[in-house]
A and B are shown apart, each in its own frame.
Chain A
Amino acid sequence: MWWVADADAGSDTADGEGGGEAGDPDAGSDTADGPTGQSGSDGEADRESPSAPTGGIVVPVEPTPTLRATVAHAVETAVDDGFATIHLVEIASWRNGDPGADDRAASAERVLERAEAWALSDLDDLDGERPSVTVATELIGADEYLFGPDDYVRVLAAYAEEHGADAVLLDPEYTPVGNTTLLQPLEFALSNTSLSVETAPVTRPTRRERLRSEATGTRFVAMFGFSLAFYLVLGDPFYWFDWVTGVATAAIVSITLSRVSIDTEPAVPRTPMRVLRGVIYVPVLLFEIVKANVEVARVILDPRLPIEPTMNRMRVIVGSGLPLMTLANSITLTPGTLTVRARDSDLYVHSLIPSARDGLFDGSLERWTRFVYYGRASARLPTPRERDDCAILQGPDATEELPIAAADGGASPGDEDGEAEAEGVTDA
């Protein structure tokens, strides 16, 4: 068993050895432990008594600036700790069948090939006899959308089990989803598995360099143009002073927020097509809102108040991030349905009347969201009802338990609701 090196430890040693080449393994990892102090002692104690795993080590691969050094470290680790196989895996952040999925798979294959070539050449460069370490590459997870660290870990763990691997080496810059930092959540989720986890103690390129390379380019331009246009709509586009202040404001906004607000690179023709299809979607959504609003208004104004509220669960097939947000907000905008919780690809939706629930399970909003983001071909898919991806969690038709602490915690529904609630609060 080894240590879990702090991800930031690597960056502290940024002076000196640039690439983290295969040359001197111990020097590299010792300096990584050094500056942090408290984690150093742990690591060394463990290294003295290696209960070396023998199967394989899994390295999730993304084209990061530190990939080269991570591969080098994986080779060192495999040789020192006696792993038989280095599994270089790329976890797909897309789903087969999405437009462009083939292109992305092809570029992922190229990254894998490059990483494999690095690993093999590192193995060849080792002094003495070439150790019997094999290198395997694989693209995994492309048959479904992966939403959060838990999904990534599930896919990784399944792969590791299948191939008899028992350790994971993380690239400190590993960010599979846009620019969201997944490293710490990934480490945490991995710590709940039987896999042992290490973050490669490699030196990163300085932050400034990375910011510069990401903030320039299309994201910045898109953000700048959008902010300036918005500013001028609010101001007077024919007054020179508004242009001066507008340019300054847009510059500040895009410098600070272009990496935060835009998580996928805008691309032609994808982005304009999305905007165009979004414009088509708006009247459809408006019509749905008005239609459902009339139904709900009738129920509310009815003296008998004939509501049958239930909580429901629906597994949706849209990508994480913006598409999921669009779908969840569309569901909430449509009266009678309210998105309560989005847990990975599961949406928990509260419905006020059965007809709203049926409309939800028919999945027309889901198909429209797919149309907006992925185009017409991707919008054809079975309804959640046909896919069996939906469940009612309450009432006489309930097919699943309500995932609320207070729900299974006891008091019979109806008489002592207040107490049930109080219990839920203390449990949480």
Chain B
Amino acid sequence: MKDDSTSIANYFVKHKAKNLCVNAKGELLTYLDVYQKAIKPPFTATNRQLVFCIVENEISALSGYFALLVANAVPMMVAVTISTEKLHHLASSYRPHFIWLPEARRKEFERADCMLSQDGYCLLNLHNPERRCHDSLALLLATSGSTGNPKYVRLSHRNLYSNAESIAKFLELTSNEVPITTLPPSYSYGLSIIHSHIFVGATLAITNKTFFDRDFWNFFHDIQATSMGGVPYHYEMLKKLRFTSMNLPSLRTLTQAGGGMDTKLTMEYASYCESSGRRFFSMYGQTEATARMSYLPSSEATFKAGSIGIAIPGGKFWLEDKSGQIFDCADSPGELVYQGPNVSMGYADSYEDLEKSDERHGVLRTGDIARRDGDGYYFIVGRRKRFIKLYGNRVSLSDIDGLLFESGYVAACAGQDNYLEVYALNIDAEKAKLVKKLVVGSLHIAQSAVSVYGVTEFPRSDSGKIQYSELQSQLGILLT
């Protein structure tokens, strides 16, 4: 274990007498169980080594992830939806020493040795040479969904600790909380819920069922869950289920992050919480800042609906104009810049980057354009870079352009949160369907979130550069 009081790993010892996880079958995992697992082989061998971690919201899976944290390994979270091909590609870029994954996927690594197999998960030794990771490096998280981009965010022990501490503080978390899992642990928001509750010694209600499973709601009632988090599409699903008329007496807190949510929808949940004595938190963040950068206090949830709120405890926001000058006047848009101890060390594209030290020095240019109102609350008004959020995952539009190019299409993408527009050069309706299938399949999104347009040319600047901001539906013919 890392001898540093500012490490989340120490909290497994601090809360050793408490229950960490419980599931619908009534199985329990205590904080002490994790500690005991971590100080024994084979987990002791993972110290300072890169370990791929493919985990779902299951106790056996998470117990391995937690043990890696305590053993001071460097886990790299990989989405469970990753294909064998992409996983192998990722493994050749990063050369992990070990991999913690479902037993069912063990056959994807034929030449690996199994060090431990327990309750459906196993730890494999891939026999890659040992490599030195930077001493501060604690965890690697993916920047965007499943486009296959090997770009990962390098997070330090201090990043994890400070963000968990800050979230626990502004949400006023206590050990009595019982958050129910709704988001994958490979996703920064999902993981931040887990980490912030470990900080206070709470018990996590672990399920990988969705809102559309009866079992999810049965478990919610049985375990008396007190909170859950969701990205905008979760709140659309809950609306479909007429959530506000459900009888959920144990529920105290709802949190929302993962992209801007329609203000009307935000207002519905904010008023529901206000009138029923619950708390609703709109939050904003990026994986590049571990998870959270701002929150809207629940007391302001209805007055300031649509706002991302104020910087989290320990953090600071400011706005910069086009020339990079900080300005201080209300209601003028500028690039949102964040400073805080949760700002990541930087990116990694391969194992060679794991030795790198902190490249950001606590400052993150978010790429989002925001304004601040007269009361000091921030509102996102646009985006500087070519990114959109699809179902909570930040997706690079140029990654999608690249993905299509590899399959033989010349396309440029545009759109807004939860809605992607693909402009493809010289295609017919048949090909458009294939384009849609490809995009829907690789991004795991709903068909209704994608439109494909056929164009004969792209809008270009005098210098020949594609003018992405001018891509709009009138330019082409809607094909599917």
Same assembly:
no
